[in-house]
Structure 1
Amino acid sequence: MTNDAWTEIPDQRYRRLWDEFDQRFQFKPSIYPKDWPSIAEPRGSVTLDLAGIFQPDHFEAGCRRVDEVVLASLQRVFDEQTALLALDWQHPAYEFRPHRHTGAFTWPESPLSPFPDGDYHIFLTEDMDQGTFGHPWEHTLCVWGDDLVSDLVPELGLPVKRSRR
């Protein structure tokens, strides 16, 4: 898929990016709580509790709100030329330009969203110094990088599950 906001990353780069992510964050996917968190959470990161959103009465509206707030934060924190990496475990990866994204994160216009609604969803800078890691089974969103933490965490207003500050 390619449009103004999303460009699919070719296979060779996809493998390199995932290798780098796996190594840097010691990614260990698991549905078992004994193995969580699934990444080595970066210093200064804040992990937010999404569990309340996963309740049937709150899911659709909660997903939409998280996606909207994350997008607005990405647009405030990064300039218009910034292309982020959007990784979806065992699915295609994309370069994502937040300033070019309009509307909701819905298929087919958006291949994935910041909210981890069934898989690990990761949005991060090319140098991997700032980003979000959504864990679908732990029901968390880990946010790292000083600028992103300062802007996004207060805006979401979700309970903190873990804080590395």
Structure 2
Amino acid sequence: MAMRAYRELSGDEKAVWDRFDVEFDFRPSMRRFPAITEPTPSVTWSLSGLDDDPGYVRLDRLVGFVHAGFTALAGEGSILCLDWQHPCYRVWPSLIGPENIDPPGQPGWPLSPYPDGDYFINLAEDFRFGTFGHPWEPSLCVFGSDLLGLVEADLHEVLGRAMRRDGRQVTV
């Protein structure tokens, strides 16, 4: 019997959110940025440059780089995909088809790292690496040395200069 690539969190969802709230000091707000205490190491990029991305080419590249990073780091294990105030998931990236190519019987990712109207959080089970997408800033914080080592250069190419590093504004 084939294992499903992801499943909706049920009873453990509240515990995951409670832990996230505490560990990242999550402060949801449409006006107060950042909405978390960005960990060290982390890099945060503005997503506003994607507003003029005809055909979503740069967005697709961003999503592909981040999902490839999660797939490499998770191995056969799972990660958590949290969508604020909506269903959340435990995902086994190794069971998902290649980015943008979902063969029959292989689903795509249930959530993107790009915050499409709500906070999207993707985390290692132990919270040591992940992403935090803020829909109203709009920004993407990537944290954890392992994930940054895999995606930082590619995200700089797609998104440009970072706006924050380790929670502090980057100066020119």
Range of TM-score over shorter length: 0.7 to 0.9
TM-score by length of 1: 0.86
In structure 2, the residue matched to 1:51 is 48
User: What is the SS of the residue equivalent to 1:160?
Assistant: coil
Bigger Cα Rg? 2
What TM-score do the two structures reach when normalised by structure 2? 0.82
- Deviation per CA, 1:19-67: give whole Å up to 9, x if none: 11011111011111xx100000001111122110123x44733332211
Contact kept in structure 1, 2:81 and 2:122, CA below 8 Å: yes
- In 1, the alpha carbon distance for the partners of 2:56 and 2:65 equals 14
Q: What code does the residue aligned with 2:49 have?
A: G
Which residue of structure 2 aligns with residue 93 of structure 1?
88
Structure 1 residue 77: Cα displacement:
2.6
Structure 2 stretches lacking a partner, 5+ long:
168-172
Which residues of structure 1 form unaligned runs of 5+? none
1:63-113 deviation line (CA, Å, top 9, x unaligned): 32211111112122331x11000000000110011121124399x854321
1:83 and 2:85 matched: no
C-alpha separation between the residues in 2 aligned to 1:54 and 1:99? 31
Identity %: 40
For 1:59 and 1:40, locate their aligned partners in 2 and report how far apart those are by CA, in whole Å: 33
The answer to whether the 8 A contact 1:36-1:138 is kept is yes
Q: Cα deviations across residues 122-142 of structure 1 (Å, max 9, x unaligned)?
A: 110111111011111112111
- Give the whole-Å Cα distance in 2 for the aligned partners of 1:62 and 1:138: 19
Q: What's the CA shift for 1:4?
A: 2.6
Q: Distance in 2 between matches of 1:129 and 1:73?
A: 13
Instruction: State the one-letter code of the partner of 2:162.
Output: V
How far does residue 153 in structure 1 lie from its aligned partner after superposition? 1.1
1:8-157 matches, cutoff 5 A = 8-10=8-10, 12-32=11-31, 35-55=32-52, 57-58=53-54, 60-79=56-75, 81-102=76-97, 103-104=99-100, 109-157=108-156
